Amino acid sequence: MDVSGSAPQRSEAPASPRSEALSAQQDERRARILDAARTCFSRAGFHRTSMQEICAEAKMSPGGLYRYFASKDAIIEAIAQEEQLAGRRILEILLEPGTLHDRLLRSGLAYIEAMRDRRAVQMMLEVYVESMRNTAVGAFFANCEEENRRLFEGAFSRAKATGEIAADADVDTMMMTLVAFADGIVLRMGLNPDYDVERAEALLSRVVTAVLQNEGPPLESRG
């Protein structure tokens, strides 16, 4: 007998096989829409792509598509959220054990590998352009970038505290240089998809080492 005065808790009934099958079907259709949208956006950009083109690529009727997404902006936001989660998983390598150099290298290699799909490169360019526009979508992408930046800064700050990098190291410049280098490789891969990341790993490692050392004299003092 319950004497606590509270109502007995009800255990949730397990989902039926039918409801699980329906949920899986809905997930599959949603994923198909987003995949079709990625193809369309990478081909024509966010603003020049119509919902009709996404429907055609997904092989769905407008009514079927609108059951999942009310607008093109809703599709863009869903893609942005997926990209944010994927990017976050890559950056969380910086939170794993190991030296800052090794964690940066692993994270960079994972990023380059994830961007092998040509569509991913084209989408990256579209995202960068959209991030500079004063739109709700642009603001969302800018917020994602700021979250990633904070994770980067946390890793570098801990490296300063442990003496892995100099206490007066220019963290902003180091971060921008490493990100720009990785993005540059990704862009070149869009033109040269045969780029062999494994063969280049030793060279990439030396680049990370050079950036982290950051101990060269200022340009004006070099003779």
What pLDDT does residue 125 have? Answer: 82
Residues shown for the chain = 223
Residues 143 and 158 in one domain: yes
What pLDDT does residue 218 have? Answer: 46
Residues 43 and 108 in one domain: no
Which positions of the chain have pLDDT values less than 70?
1-22, 134, 214-223
d(C-alpha 73, C-alpha 83), whole Å: 15
What pLDDT does residue 60 have? Answer: 95
- Name the pTM for this structure: 0.74
Distances in Å between the Cα of 181 and the Cα atoms of 22, 73, 112, 187, 221 are 45, 31, 11, 10, 26
Residue 10 lies in a domain: no
Residues 177 and 111 in one domain: yes
What pLDDT does residue 55 have? Answer: 97
Identify the domain containing residue 27 by its residue range: 18-70
Residue 220 lies in a domain: no
Residues 80 and 170 in one domain: yes
What pLDDT does residue 217 have? Answer: 44
Domain containing 94 — which CATH number? Answer: 1.10.357.10
Residue 5 lies in a domain: no
What pLDDT does residue 209 have? Answer: 94
**DSSP symbol at 115:** T
Residues 78 and 24 in one domain: no
Give the number of other CB atoms < 10 A from CB of residue 52.
Answer: 10
Q: State how many domains the chain has.
A: 2
- Half-sphere exposure at residue 191, Cβ-oriented, CA atoms within 13 angstroms: 4
